[in-house]
């Protein structure tokens, strides 16, 4: 099945992208670049979950993707707020 | 016509992966945080949205409803997160002026 081959290639490719962005999370030149790379890494995980849902034909992965999007947004906002003010809740 | 739909989904998946690769290369390549944000903000619209469309093409109701939810949420929150990062960068270290980035090319001379 050619579609299964395309999905397998896509999942491997997405994992390579995720590995590169995780390296960027550790080795970013500044703190804000690390936060940005973290945001991007969650985006890659979200894409991987979508591909997994396509491959397994199950919609449960999409619930996980929705929750991941929610927590990624909250995490980025909290991290930038902590970077700016030194505290999350003021 | 129905036989074309899986191929369309494959094209969307590969295009989305290409755009994600380009965005990650931009984040690796760009010099400062503002230009990096320009590259990374493209992941939501050009990277995740085609994957969601590819999910919707399968035609199952559970996929379509969740894909619509995720798409609406991503499209709303990614600009807000990018703006938060840019605002933190601007407030903690306000630049005098932002230099124009010319990459490897030399500065074009006038006249």
Q: What is the pLDDT of residues A32-57, one digit of tens each?
A: 999 999 999 999 999 999 999 999 98
- Confirm if B43 and B17 have CB atoms less than 8 A apart: no
| A contact set with B (CB within 8 A) | 2-3, 6-7, 10, 13-14, 17, 20-21, 24, 30, 32-33, 35-37, 39-40, 43-44, 46-47, 50-51, 53-54, 57, 59, 62-63, 65-66, 69-70, 72-73, 76-77, 80-81, 83-84
Residue B59 DSSP symbol: -
Following CA atoms B70, B72, B74, B79 in sequence, which dihedral angle do they give, to the nearest 10 degrees? 180
Following CA atoms B1, B5, B10, B12 in sequence, which dihedral angle do they give, to the nearest 10 degrees? 100
Interface test with A, best of B51, B56, B72 (most A CBs within 10 A): B51
Nearest to A33 by CA among B74, B99, B36: B36
Would the pLDDT of B106 be above 70?
Answer: no
**Chain B residue numbers touching A63 (CB-CB < 8 A):** 66
The secondary structure of chain B as a DSSP string is: -GGGHHHHHHHHHHHHHHHHHHHHHHHHH-SSHHHHHHHHTHIIIIIIHHHHHHHHTT--HHHHHHHHHHHHHHHHHHHHHHHHHHHHHHHHS--SSPPPP-TTSPPPPP-
Q: The pTM is what?
A: 0.87
Interchain CB contacts (distance < 8 Å): A and B: 123
- The residue-averaged pLDDT of B66-95 equals 91
- The residue-averaged pLDDT of B66-75 equals 93
- The enclosing H or E element of A50 equals helix A31-56
- The residue-averaged pLDDT of B4-25 equals 92
Contact state of A43 with B36 under an 8 Å Cβ cutoff: no
Contact state of B47 with A6 under an 8 Å Cβ cutoff: no
CA of A65 to nearest chain B CA: how many angstroms apart? 8
Q: What ipTM goes with this model? A: 0.89
Which two three-digit tokens encode residue B80?
């807000």
Which two three-digit tokens encode residue B102?
């010319």
Regions of chain A short of the pLDDT cut 70 = none
With bands split at pLDDT 50, 70 and 90, how would you rate the model's confidence at B23? Answer: very high
Considering chain A, what is the average pLDDT of its residues? 91
């Amino acid at each position: 099945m050619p579609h299964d081959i395309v999905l397998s290639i896509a999942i491997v490719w997405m994992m390579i992208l995720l590995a590169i962005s995780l390296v960027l999370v550790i080795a970013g030149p500044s703190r804000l670049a690390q936060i940005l790379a973290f945001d991007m890494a969650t985006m890659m995980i979200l894409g991987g979950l979508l591909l997994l849902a396509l491959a397994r034909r199950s919609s449960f992965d999409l619930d996980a993707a929705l929750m991941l999007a929610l927590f990624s947004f909250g995490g980025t906002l909290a991290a930038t707020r902590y970077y700016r003010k030194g505290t999350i809740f003021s | 016509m129905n036989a074309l739909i899986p191929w369309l989904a494959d094209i969307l998946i590969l295009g989305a992966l290409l755009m994600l690769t380009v965005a990650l290369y931009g984040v690796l390549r760009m010099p400062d945080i503002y230009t990096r944000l320009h590259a990374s903000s493209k992941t939501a619209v050009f990277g995740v949205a085609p994957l969601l469309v590819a999910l919707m093409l399968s035609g199952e109701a559970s996929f379509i409803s969740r894909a619509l939810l995720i798409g609406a949420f991503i499209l709303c929150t990614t600009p807000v997160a990018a703006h938060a990062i840019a605002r933190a960068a601007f407030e903690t270290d306000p630049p005098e002026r932002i230099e124009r980035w010319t990459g490897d090319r030399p500065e074009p001379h006038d006249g």
